Amino acid sequence: MAKKIQLKVNTDLTASSQVLSWFEQINEPPISEPEIWWKCQTLIIEGFTNIVEHAHKNMPPSTLVEIEAIRSSQEIEIRIWSQGAFFDLEKKLQETCEFEENEQERGRGLRIMSAIADKLSYERTTDNRYCLFISKSVRS
């Protein structure tokens, strides 16, 4: 039986701790491999940060970010909906420098997400929003 949780928060990076606290619910019962859980936490916070900093950059802080997490026996799926402008995830990943070449403090989130997610996409939804989809296997 899959477990599904949902959250709506303002477009504000200070909500990161709220997002992580909310996400803890999906780790019941705890995932057996701590490294897999750490990767799932990294994926959700990097995804949320990217939506706030990029997709919602020119939007008021009251703009809602909707997040959904679903855990099955096989994987955790994370969906983060944005109301911002579209960007081509695949193209952006190709343009982004590898970790070793990137000495900047910022700009590594997509590369990190791509490296640890099993599936990663950013697509337009039927209601004119965009959905960042992330999937991570919970089996070691």
CATH number, domain with residue 99: 3.30.565.10
Answer whether 45's CB lies under 8 Å from 19's CB: yes
Q: What total number of domains does the chain contain?
A: 1
- The position carrying tokens 């999937």 is 135
Answer whether 65's CB lies under 8 Å from 81's CB: yes
Q: 0.85 exceeded by the pTM? A: yes
Tell me the C-alpha distance between 27 and 138, whole Å.
Answer: 10
Q: What is the DSSP string of 75-99?
A: EEEEEEEE-S----HHHHHHHSPPG
**Residue from 109, 43, 36 nearest 80 by CA:** 43
Query: Which domain covers residue 38, as residue numbers?
Result: 3-137
pLDDT for the residue 109: 77
Q: What is the pLDDT along the chain (140 residues), one digit of tens a residue?
A: 899 999 999 999 999 999 999 999 999 999 999 999 999 999 999 999 989 988 898 899 999 999 999 999 999 999 999 988 777 677 776 766 554 454 554 556 788 898 999 999 988 899 989 999 999 999 86
Residues 6+ apart with CB under 8 A from 73: 138
What letter does residue 54 receive in the DSSP assignment? I
Tell me the C-alpha distance between 43 and 119, whole Å.
Answer: 11
Tell me the C-alpha distance between 3 and 30, whole Å.
Answer: 13
